[in-house]
Chain A
Amino acid sequence: MNKTLAAFILGIIVTALPCFSDGGNLLVKNGTILTVTKGSLPKGDLLIIGGVIKDIGENLKAPEGVRVIDASGKFVIPGIIDAHTHIALSGTNETGDVITAEVNMRDVIQAEDLAIFTALTGGVTMAHTMHGSANPIGGRDITLKMKWGRPAEELIVPQAYQTLKFALGENPKQASRQVFGGAPQRYPATRMGVNAIIRAEMLAAKNYMLQWERYLKDTKGKNPPKTLAPPRRDLRLEALAELLRGNLVARVHSYRADESLKFIDLSKEFGFKIVCFEHIPEAFKITRELRTEGIGTSVFVDSWAYKVEAAEGIASSAAYCTKNGVLVSINSDGGERMRRLFNDAGKTLKYGGLTEDEALKLISINPAIQLGVAKTAGSLEVGKDGDVAIFNEHPLSAYARCEMTIIEGDVYFDRAQYLKEREEAAKQAEEAKKPGGGQ
């Protein structure tokens, strides 16, 4: 796409801001409904009231005043969930230090990032948007719904896991080299260093917790001494203490099997929960360990060998891990792949032979489980949020295109309407160019 065209299309988007006029009430009629967890209806209806799925079945009636969307010949699926991306943020890495658990992506949500809109065009309704992988311990991540046009705070999914980003391997090793050219390299510069610095920080966090416990105990004593003073509050250690208390869970960027296994050891030593290894091209080598520990993976479906630590990735990794009992999700890592995650899921049919349902799970219920939102999202079930994507064909088809994206019963993307508005805007632009046109 050339620049002018891109600028032109982006120019139109502003006019295509979502309509929220449905008040969270919608009836989607006559579509092929793929619930993901409760089978499929070849011709069914889906009723959303107050943002929540009220009913799924045949011949449902719309209560008065509820908008009806005709989905005849179309496929209705749960809104796609991206378990690992970096969109909608002002900044990705805090490279000023090696351990930066004190930073929180919640503080830098950028609700006007156009990537939210492009995500909607690919049926994505929710994304876990994360600190980058420059630091062995990055920062806290945030789960957002793609409510384009709404203020930042309304995007946050409060019930999602509070997560803390870790990174192993080349990225934290090389972060300083990339940033500072000829500058003295920062510590750590090796995998063993990465492991060691994380371990040292965990020990510091344990000590921090101990200090606080001791202090709180002493204040509760009968006659606390006059010399009793609280420990200094340290936001960095506090985040790690939250991890050790189980209020935060770890999301770990890792590539190789060995470093991942070492990290599992570390998590056991300190007793914190790893939800997911991110990318992990070598996951297929350690499926037993992942399964036993209940650790999932969030992966690119078909990227490997783009760097040495990714050399041993295989095409069927996602499928293989799935078949071996690992909870797998397919992620985008950024705005570009995010709008075609359904294509990515489709690849697992060919490479690894997953069933359609299994493949769809990789971009719906599995990431929902990994984000801790399976009670409200990830499948079409009565009582869950009305987050829905409507496709022209089966979403795993190579010809699939998202036609409409709905979040909590409000239409946030409607391709037909968008194209119409785009055409009108183009016409107006043409008019304006004519002599005497414009105002």
Chain B
Amino acid sequence: MSTLKKMSALMFGLWACAALSPAEFLPAYALVNCRIVPVTSPVIKKGIIIIRDGLIESIGMVGNIKIPEDAEVIEAQGLTAYPGLISAHTNLFLEAPKDQQPGFDEERAPSRPLAEKAVQKPDLQAFELIKPNRSTIDGYHRIGITTVLVAPEAGIFAGQSVLLNLNGENPGAMVVKIPVALQVNFVSERNSYPSSLMGTVAFLRQSFLDAQYYSSYRSQFARVQKGMKRPEYDPFLEDIIPYVIEKKPLIITCSNQEDIKRALRLREEFNLNVLLSGANEAWRVVDLLKKAQVPLLVSVDFRPPASSLYSQEGEQEKKKAEKDIYPANPQVLAKAGLKFALTSFGLTDPAAIQKNIREAVKAGLPQEEALKALTIVPAQFLGVDSILGSLEPGKIANLVLATGEIFGDKTEVDKVFVDGKLFVMEKKPAEKETIKRPSDGGATNAEFGVAGFPKPGQ
């Protein structure tokens, strides 16, 4: 068996495997002679990582770890192993359902009566909307991201997010945690209520109040019954009660400093369990955030918000601020001792995400802080730090093997493991066409389809 495996590996350059399922057979791997940055424990200069059944089996210095006989040995001399990076807020793979495309629909406007409440779908699962695809996953692997939170994007109560491992195209097998949080946005839609930001804030307040009221009335009615008018069943409030009463987490997207203040006010008024996302103007409200001690999912999208002076001053000033001012956001937060995760929210192009993470580091964010902000911190914020976010025995085998310091300018990702599944990066991403034709031989080896993805019908 082992010989056969090695032969295949020779033939394809790496091991191909089928979609993950609990019963699925995955080879064990031994990554040897690599530098290891486990994040939650000291760096190992020359170490070994054993991966089995999608988990990290053991990890240690060369000499301290015995390589199991059945393990596929991967020589990783010159490579550094990091935990797979986590982007704790994205809109990846989302396909908006046809009946609720965001934005104003001119053609349908006349038939819609005024003051109709905007459609809110707190029960919508992002999972129901995702269509994972290889090229996106490949792109994220190339910058070391192996886990993403996918949040629905349309509406004030947009729905519930899901945490995915980028291990293939089978959505069920990708799920790490579902649901993660209720996604809340300060948005409004013309032609419905609310149609303005102030209306949105009022609507949020009223909704939280209603949830409190509904919940307390409902339980009083359950106790008393006789002599009380029965409560009207309200599916919308049913859906948000867990977040208002049971304090399940809400992620509120904050596109500017005032949004942060608005979100914090709501958090305080209703004692909500809130994570702030976006927050690329967090640097402007550091004192407030210090007081609030709120989990921050800070985007590396450095475009100044429209409300900022920089944007009002025209394109040139805006670009300048994007280049010179906003990349310092994470650095300012780190200096202030605030705990934050970095996310790719607002950006979709992996190259841009990588560039911006590097910009943040260049702007003064220490590398180790950046690394924590993309590994263990988001894992903690999302409540998965016992299984993700660092290299430790027993944790999910999400690993990045990079050619150097992960945020270094010239560093490339060589291989990633997601749920113990190996993906080898094709060196020349430009030659996509050759990649798509398996008959081209060598070039296909590193491509997904062979590396990690089942072929259609397999």
A interface residue numbers (CB < 8 A to B):
7, 10-11, 13-14, 90-98, 100, 102-105, 107-114, 131, 139, 151-153, 176, 179-184, 186, 225-227, 229-230, 232-236
A96 touches B205 (CB 8 A): no
- Whether B312 contacts A112 by the Cβ 8 Å rule is yes
Chain A residues lying within 8 Å of B201, measured Cβ to Cβ, are 103-104, 107-108
| B109/A181 in contact, CB under 8 A | yes
Q: Does B202 contact A (CB under 8 A)?
A: yes
Given A112-B312, A179-B191, do A93 and B196 touch, yes or no (CB 8 Å)?
A: yes
B136 interface residue per 8 A CB criterion: no
Chain B contact surface mostly: helix
B317 near A11 with CB under 8 A, answer yes
CA distance A130 to B143 in the complex (A): 48
Asked whether any CB of chain A lies closer than 8 Å to the CB of B45, the reply is: no
Taking CB atoms, residues of chain B closer than 8 Å to A182 are: 110
Note all chain B residues with C-beta closer than 8 A to A11: 313-314, 316-317
Stretch with Cβ within 8 A of A (4 or more), from B172-180, B303-311, B333-341, B403-411: B303-311
User: What mask results when residues 165 to 196 of chain B are scored 1 for a CB within 8 Å of chain A, else 0?
Assistant: 00000000000000000000000101111111
The segment from B10-18, B31-39, B111-119, B428-436 found at the interface with A is B111-119
Interface residues on B, range: 35 or more
Docked pose: A64 CA to B188 CA in angstroms? 54
- Say whether B352 faces chain A, with CB atoms less than 8 Å apart: no
Across the A-B interface, give the 8 residue pairs with the lowest CB-CB distance, nearest first: A96-B193, A96-B195, A94-B199, A91-B196, A103-B198, A186-B114, A107-B201, A102-B202
B residues bordering A, Cβ < 8 Å?
Answer: 109-110, 112-115, 118, 188, 190-199, 201-202, 205-206, 209-210, 213, 216-217, 220, 223-224, 227-228, 257-258, 261-262, 265, 285, 307-310, 312-314, 316-317
Contact across chains for A176 and B213 when beta carbons are under 8 A apart? no
Q: Is the CB of B209 within 8 A of A112?
A: no
The one of A92, A102, A227 in contact with B206, judged by C-beta atoms closer than 8 angstroms, is A102
Dominant SS among interface residues on chain A: loop
A107 touches B197 (CB 8 A): yes
Are B307's CB and A94's CB within 8 A?
no
Please give, as numbers and ranges, the residues of chain B lying within 8 Å of A109 by CB-CB distance: 258
Judging by beta carbons under 8 Å apart, are A100 and B199 in contact? yes
Closest chain A CB from B126 CB (angstroms): 26
Question: Which of B195, B199, B209, B220 counts the most chain A CB atoms within 10 A?
Answer: B199
- Contact (Cβ within 8 A) B115 A90: no
With A94-B194, A114-B309 already in contact, 13 other A-B pairs whose C-beta atoms are closer than 8 Å: A11-B313, A90-B307, A96-B118, A96-B192, A96-B194, A96-B195, A97-B114, A107-B198, A108-B258, A112-B312, A139-B202, A181-B110, A183-B110
Q: B261 to A152, Cβ gap below 8 A? A: yes
Give the residue of A96, A184, A186, A234 whose beta carbon is less than 8 angstroms from that of B199.
A96
By the criterion CB–CB under 8 Å, are B224 and A226 in contact?
yes
**Contacts known (A96-B199, A180-B109, A229-B228); A110 close to B258, Cβ less than 8 A:** yes
Do B195 and A95 have beta carbons less than 8 Å apart?
A: yes
A-B contact pairs, 21 of them (CB 8 A): A7-B313, A7-B316, A11-B313, A94-B193, A94-B198, A96-B114, A96-B199, A102-B205, A104-B201, A112-B308, A131-B198, A139-B202, A152-B261, A153-B261, A176-B114, A179-B190, A180-B114, A181-B109, A232-B209, A235-B205, A235-B206
A109-B258, A110-B258 known; A184+B114 contact, CB < 8 A:
yes
A14 to B217, CA, bound (A): 53
Q: How far is the CA of A98 from the CA of B113 in the complex (A)?
A: 13
Q: Closest approach, in angstroms, between the C-beta of A254 and any C-beta of chain B?
A: 22
In the complex, what distance in Å separates the CA atom of A109 from the CA atom of B265? 14
Write out the residue numbers on chain A whose beta carbons fall within 8 Å of the beta carbon of B308: 112
* Closest B residue to A96 using CB positions: B193
B202 and A14: CB pair below 8 A? no
Report Cα–Cα, A228/B375, bound state, in Å: 51
The reply to whether B220 and A229 form a contact with Cβ atoms under 8 Å apart is yes
Tell me whether B313 and A108 are in contact (CB under 8 A): no
A183-B197 contact in complex given A102-B202, A229-B228, C-beta closer than 8 Å: no
The reply to whether A108 and B197 form a contact with Cβ atoms under 8 Å apart is yes
Q: Do B198 and A227 have beta carbons less than 8 Å apart?
A: no
> Chain A contacts of B317 at CB under 8 A?
11, 14
Residues of A within 8 A of B258 (CB): 90, 108-111, 152
Q: Are B198 and A139 in contact (CB under 8 A)?
A: yes
A232 B213 Cβ-Cβ under 8 A: yes
In the complex, which residues of chain B have a beta carbon less than 8 angstroms from the beta carbon of A235? 202, 205-206, 209
CB-based contact B224/A227 at 8 Å: yes
Within 8 Å CB of B265, what residues of A? 107
Is the Cβ of B261 less than 8 Å from the Cβ of A7?
A: no
A233 with B209: CB separation less than 8 A:
yes
Query: A104, A112, A233: which contacts B309 (Cβ < 8 A)?
Result: A112
- Among the listed A93, A97, A105, A108, which residue makes an inter-chain contact with B115, where contact means beta carbons less than 8 Å apart? A97
Q: Which residues of B contact A93 (CB under 8 A)?
A: 196
Q: Are B193 and A108 in contact (CB under 8 A)?
A: no
Which residues in B have their C-beta under 8 angstroms from that of A7?
Answer: 313-314, 316
Given contacts A7-B314, A11-B316, A227-B227, contact A183 B199 (CB under 8 A): no
Contacts of B112 in A (CB 8 A): 183
Q: In the complex, which residues of chain B have a beta carbon less than 8 angstroms from the beta carbon of A14?
A: 309-310, 313, 317
The answer on a CB contact under 8 Å between B307 and A110 is: yes
Chain A residues lying within 8 Å of B110, measured Cβ to Cβ, are 180-184
Query: What is the bound-complex CA distance between A232 and B215, given in angstroms?
Result: 11
Contacts of B192 in A (CB 8 A): 96
B198: A residues at CB distance < 8 A: 90-91, 94, 103-105, 107-108, 131, 139
Q: How far is the CB of B117 from chain A (nearest CB, A)?
A: 8
Enumerate chain A residues within 8 angstroms of B113, measured Cβ to Cβ: 184
Known: A97-B193, A180-B114, A181-B110. A10 touches B199 (CB 8 A): no
Q: How long is the Cα–Cα vector from A180 to B118 in the complex, in angstroms? A: 16
Is B191 within 8 A of A227, CB to CB?
no
Q: Would you call B115 and A186 a contact (CB within 8 A)?
A: yes
Collect the chain A residues with CB atoms within 8 Å of residue B213's CB. Answer: 230, 232-233
Chain A: which residue is nearest B305 at the CB level?
A: A112
Contact partner of B312 among A102, A114, A226, A232, CB < 8 A? Answer: A114
Q: Is the CB of B312 within 8 A of A94?
A: no
Chain B residues with Cβ below 8 Å from A234 are 206
A91: min CB distance to chain B, Å:
4
Query: What's the Cα separation between A62 and B110 when bound, in Å?
Result: 67
Bound CA span A179–B113, Å: 12
Residues of A within 8 A of B224 (CB): 226-227
Give A203 to B210 CA distance when docked, in angstroms.
22
Q: Which of B110, B205, B285, B313 has the most CB of A within 10 A?
A: B313
For A109, give the chain B residue with the smallest CB separation. Answer: B258
The CA-CA distance from A251 to B333 in the complex, in Å, is 43
In the assembly, what is the distance between CA of A135 and CA of B53, in Å? 63
Instruction: Tell me, in angstroms, the Cα distance from A184 to B191 when the chains sit together.
Output: 12
B392 to chain A, nearest CB (A): 42
Contact A90 B114 (CB under 8 A): no
